Amino acid sequence: MITLELPYKVKMIKRIMKFSIVILTKNDSENLSILLNSLVDFKDNGGEICIIDVGSTDNTQQIANEWGYKIDNFLGIREIDDDMVNFINEKYENLINNTDKYFDYSCLKNYAASKVSNDMLLIINANVNLVNFNIQDIQNQIDAGYDIIHFTQDNGTNSIYNRQKFNWENIVCEKLVKITQEEIKENFIHSLKISSLNNKFFSDNDREMLVGLAISCILNSNDNNINKLFLNELLNKNSNLMQIELDRQLSMGDDIHKCKLLVDVGDFLLNKENDKLAIEYYHKAYLNCSKLRLPLYKLGQYYYNKKIWDRCIFYLEGCLNISKHETIQDNDFMYKDGPYSMLYVAWWWHGDIKKGKYYFDKAIEINPYNNLYIEEAIFHYEYKGNNFGGNETFQQLQFLYNNGKKYNSILEIYPEARSTEALLSSTNNIVSVIRKSECNCFIRGLDNPGNLKIYYTIKDTINYFEKENIKFDMIVIHNYNDIIQDYNDFWFIRIWEKFANKLLCGFDYIENKKMIDDTFEISGVTENIWYKNISSFEKTIIYKKKN
């Protein structure tokens, strides 16, 4: 008798698979096969996949059967008891009735968790794409003892979690809640992402959604996500109960909470093309709390989109007077280049190009790698900058470019591609650089590497320059600490004055002020770049004087 053994590796993979996947479906005939095909390796390696259907009326279940899966059906529609009906109607003036029903999303996910054999599981809808679904990476996280592993899903997160330590709560806006007193170990897999192909609601009945939200607001009165959804539902239906719910939510928090809530209402009304009322709510938000930029920023953004430049400028310049408070969580973009990016366009079209350039400089100073700013720099500058690797600001690149145009020979010491590209763009002459080691990525990051000459190791290069009597009109020093650390000798900073014919300069003056002032008699500082103009007379005596 012959016995056929499975390969050892396959048996081991099947034995160590530590998590299961549950797929939730409802009318997903177009998406299910795509998702199941992407999970073939997971299944072939011993992974457990369960499919739970929530009332499909298309051929979703047939497709699952063709793939060899048995469908588990779940009926998530729940009836509402009389006491809850009466309680809700006392607050919301007969919003619901005794025949209303709702869909329980947490009940669905807790049911799903009960159907798998592993404690660690991932619950996903059938309408998603898995990106970088690395099984071994997930396995390693589980073997390391993590109870919950987060990853990105669209604008939020999803999680592989331990069903013994977490449970789903809330009828709608379901969320994982810890159910154990034990310490939880959690991690984030940044490579794994899930993208949804469309919005998935297992209840297509608007009435069921409204009832579920109403109950959730009663049971979870402080949950901002539920409150926001419920308010939006009432707004969407133009219900006169909207003001009742808005007043309830306004009474629950401080001025900051009220401000953000009123802005949310304004956003909703704007999406419904009720501009006049939206603007009114943005103003109400500012009057409730002047500590946040948010209302004024929204107003400036509104008039920017409408191309009403004077009002756009009025609100955006007003919001610039409001600084960000460390204790207030708010959108960082509003406190960075967001207002400046709109103000430079607004002032340009308003007719004040000089003021527009002022705000453009502010925007690109904060976000020098923004491709839109780089493309638009050509309206203000001869050199539009680049987004290659390096820490130099846009204005520092302008310093290099403008000076590079003046000189025939240029040397950079320990640069990155960002500054070298600016110098290569400024001249048709050769730009020389000294690098710590060979690096092909440095060359690939340049638009015009043909005019580049690279030397390696400072010590050998200095000996060569001295032997051949090579000097440069312009020398730029980067990374003093690296130079000193590599050679353990300050002399390798000081000696470059000897090889500069016309201009010696370097970055990070503020951070290295004492060292630079003690070493060089500099001519000035601009954009945190120190520089020394060297005349022919100075050239004959200065190096002797230093020694």
Q: In sequence order, which ranges of 220-352 are alpha helices (DSSP H)? A: 224-236, 242-250, 255-271, 275-288, 294-305, 309-319, 338-350
Contact 282, 319 (CB under 8 A): no
Percent of the chain whose predicted confidence (pLDDT) is above 90: 52
Q: In sequence order, which ranges of 469-534 are alpha helices (DSSP H)? A: 480-487, 491-494, 513-519
Domain limits for position 463: 394-546
pLDDT band at 235 (very low <50, low <70, confident <90, very high): confident
Domain assignment of residue 312, yes or no: no
Round to the nearest angstrom and report the end-to-end CA distance of the chain.
93
As a whole number, mean pLDDT of residues 126-134 equals: 89
As a whole number, mean pLDDT of residues 249-276 equals: 88
In our burial notation (b when 16+ CB lie closer than 10 A, e otherwise), range 402-421 reads ebbeebebbbbbbbbbbbbb
Domain assignment of residue 88, yes or no: no
How many H-runs (helices) and E-runs (strands) does the chain carry?
25, 19
As a whole number, mean pLDDT of residues 202-220 equals: 80
pLDDT in the model for residue 325? 74
Least confident of 40-44, 329-333, 506-510: 329-333
Final residue belonging to a domain, choices 163, 196, 229:
196
Contact 367, 337 (CB under 8 A): yes
Each residue's pLDDT tens digit, 79-116: 888 888 888 888 887 788 888 888 899 999 999 999 99
pLDDT in the model for residue 298? 96
pLDDT in the model for residue 456? 87
Each residue's pLDDT tens digit, 422-478: 999 999 999 999 987 766 667 766 766 778 999 988 888 999 999 999 999 999 999
- Give residue 239's Cα distance to chain centre: 36
Contact 292, 331 (CB under 8 A): no
Over the chain, what is the mean pLDDT? 86
> What is the total count of domains within the chain?
2
Token pair belonging to 297: 């920023």
Final residue belonging to a domain, choices 196, 222, 255:
196
With helix as H, strand as E and coil as C, how does 339-398 read?
A: HHHHHHHHHHHHCCHHHHHHHHHHHHHHCCCCHHHHHHHHHCCCCCCCCCCCCCCHHHHH
Category of 72 on φ-ψ map: left (φ > 0), alpha (ψ -120 to 50) or beta: beta
Kindly tell me if the per-residue pLDDT of 241 is higher than 70. Answer: yes
pLDDT in the model for residue 440? 63
Domain assignment of residue 153, yes or no: yes
Domain assignment of residue 385, yes or no: no
pLDDT in the model for residue 320? 94
Token pair belonging to 16: 């160590």
Final residue belonging to a domain, choices 141, 171, 196:
196
Tokens 């002797």 -> residue: 544
Q: In the beta sheet, which residues pair with residue 148?
A: 161, 186
pLDDT in the model for residue 345? 96
Token pair belonging to 85: 């009906």
Least confident of 38-47, 310-319, 351-360: 38-47
pLDDT band at 186 (very low <50, low <70, confident <90, very high): very high
Which of helix, strand or coil describes residue 106? helix
Nearest partner of 516 among 529, 527, 503, judged by Cα: 529
pLDDT band at 238 (very low <50, low <70, confident <90, very high): low
pLDDT band at 4 (very low <50, low <70, confident <90, very high): very low
Which is higher by pLDDT, 509 or 16?
509
Domain assignment of residue 297, yes or no: no
Distance CA 447, CA 387 (A): 11
Domain assignment of residue 229, yes or no: no
Each residue's pLDDT tens digit, 288-341: 888 889 999 999 999 999 999 999 999 999 999 998 876 666 677 888 999 999
Which of helix, strand or coil describes residue 332? helix
pTM (two decimals): 0.67
Domain assignment of residue 493, yes or no: yes
Token pair belonging to 277: 């009322």
Helix (H) or strand (E) holding 143: helix 135-143
pLDDT in the model for residue 199? 66
Contact 313, 346 (CB under 8 A): yes
Kindly tell me if the per-residue pLDDT of 539 is higher than 60. Answer: no
The three-point CA angle 302-306-309 to 5° equals 90
How many CB atoms neighbour CB 179 within 10 A? 12
Nearest partner of 208 among 95, 77, 87, judged by Cα: 77
Distance CA 130, CA 196 (A): 9
Least confident of 32-46, 130-144, 212-226, 232-246: 232-246
- The radius of gyration of the chain's CA atoms, rounded to the nearest angstrom, is 32
pLDDT in the model for residue 438? 67
Token pair belonging to 93: 């003036």
Q: In sequence order, which ranges of 196-254 are alpha helices (DSSP H)? A: 206-219, 224-236, 242-250
pLDDT band at 236 (very low <50, low <70, confident <90, very high): confident
Say which CATH number the domain at 135 has: 3.90.550
Say which CATH number the domain at 414 has: 3.40.50.150
Kindly tell me if the per-residue pLDDT of 14 is higher than 60. Answer: no
Q: What is the largest CA-CA distance in the chain?
A: 100
Domain assignment of residue 339, yes or no: no
Each residue's pLDDT tens digit, 380-400: 999 999 988 889 999 999 999
How many CB atoms neighbour CB 379 within 10 A? 13
Nearest partner of 229 among 123, 105, 333, 125, judged by Cα: 105
Kindly tell me if the per-residue pLDDT of 377 is higher than 80. Answer: yes
Distance CA 3, CA 542 (A): 89
Token pair belonging to 339: 């207002």
